[in-house]
Structure 1
Amino acid sequence: MAKNPTLHYTTPGLEPADAQRVVQLLQDRLFAANDLHLTLKHVHWNVVGPHFIAVHEMIDPQVETVRGFADDLAERIATLGGSPQGTPGSLVENRSWDDYSIGRAGTQEHLGALDVVYQGVITSYREGIKELDELDLVTQDMFIAQTEQLELFHWFVRAHLEDKGGNLATAEASSEQEAAKAAS
């Protein structure tokens, strides 16, 4: 997670220490949103196979929405008196997850790996939602709205991995590589 930010001011009614923690939560999500939209674009460019066009076209609206999330998160950081970190170096230095590990691969492999990616992103958003319940309900609302969209996108991915009995091909996978293999 990003280092403690220096705040020169914050919004009325929010204690400076609480604002500092909220900015940390926002910055972590900003890193995740920037990483996710780049990962999704990488998948868009590298997916191949019989369902190429369906997956290729499904991914681009997700990219655009997540890019919008990044902008909203950065603007909320600035609103609270922080300075958003949006450079690639700061993302790589501060993220707590590994880089996406699948290159050119079939649709099912990428969708399997994306299942794991979305699980991680959504889980961290939900953890932030819980913590924000005591800190800042305005930021919590933002996290809730973004989580709703991420869960919808995750469902789109999982629909390709599910059999008619409701079983996910990636159910036992804990890494992108395992999920890609299980889904293919």
Structure 2
Amino acid sequence: MGIEVTPHYTVPGLAAQDAGSVIELLQQRLHALNDLHLTLKHVHWNVVGPHFIAVHEMLDPQVDRVRDMADDVAERMAALGGVAYGTPGVLVEQRTWKDYSVGRADAIAHLGALNLVYTGLLEDLRALIKTVAEIDPVTEDLLIEQLRDLEQFQWFVRAHLETASGNLTTAGATTEIEAARQSVQ
């Protein structure tokens, strides 16, 4: 897209070039959170089966918190002197992952797929935290708080996928469709 991210000014004590680096990293984070919020609503609307109500009601608080996280990231970008691009076109153009691939399905199948979504998101977030830690401790703190909540959300998802012996029914799955299939076998 060729968007200039180095701000003309930023927060005191942080160089504009460093702020630009953080803004650029946060833009991908904003895309990930906006995508997650929409994916969670998609799952919420398309779950069926005997676990419908439990999963349906579990997801709305996650949606609300993820939307708050996106707002926090966008506001941090603005505080650093940047622009938060939150339109669907920019998200689709700049994201580095494929769209969620499960439609109407059993609630547990969706959770199997959603577990992989959370895994990818959390791995990316941990890498981002390591990168921004060297530049901006305020952004690092914001991201650590989000990591804590997202890990808890994945724990909620995984509790539905765990066997009595402590194994995940989706172990070894590499695609959402594969995870969805494994979770209901």
TM-score normalised over the length of structure 2: 0.97
1:64 matched to 2:64: yes
Residues 1:142 and 1:173: Cα distance change in structure 2 (over 3 Å)? same
CA deviations over 1:51-70 (Å, ceiling 9, x no partner): 10000000000000000001
Partner of 1:146: 146
Q: Equivalents in 2 of 1:40, 1:102: separation in Å? A: 12
Please tell me the root mean square deviation across aligned C-alpha atoms, in Å. 1.2
The residue type paired with residue 5 of structure 1 is: V
CA deviations over 1:54-109 (Å, ceiling 9, x no partner): 00000000000000001000000000000000000000000000000000000111
How much does 1:6 deviate? 3.7
- What SS does the corresponding residue of 2:32 show, helix, strand or coil? helix
Partner of 1:75: 75
Contact 1:2 1:24 in 2 (8 A): no
The residue type paired with residue 104 of structure 1 is: R
Residues 1:133 and 1:6: Cα distance change in structure 2 (over 3 Å)? closer
Partner of 2:44: 44
Instruction: Map 1:85-96 to 2 at 5 A.
Output: 85-96=85-96
Q: Equivalents in 1 of 2:69, 2:46: separation in Å? A: 23
Q: Equivalents in 2 of 1:59, 1:105: separation in Å? A: 15
More divergent stretch after superposition (1-10 vs 11-20): 1-10
Instruction: Map 1:18-167 to 2 at 5 A.
Output: 18-167=18-167
How much does 1:2 deviate? 8.1
The residue type paired with residue 52 of structure 2 is: F
The residue type paired with residue 144 of structure 1 is: I
Q: Equivalents in 2 of 1:101, 1:64: separation in Å? A: 22
The residue type paired with residue 62 of structure 2 is: Q
TM-score normalised over the length of structure 1: 0.97
Contact 1:4 1:24 in 2 (8 A): no
| Percent identical | 61
How much does 1:4 deviate? 4.8
Q: Equivalents in 1 of 2:148, 2:9: separation in Å? A: 30
How much does 1:24 deviate? 1.1
The residue type paired with residue 63 of structure 1 is: V
Query: Tell me, which stretches of 5 or more residues in structure 2 are unaligned?
Result: none
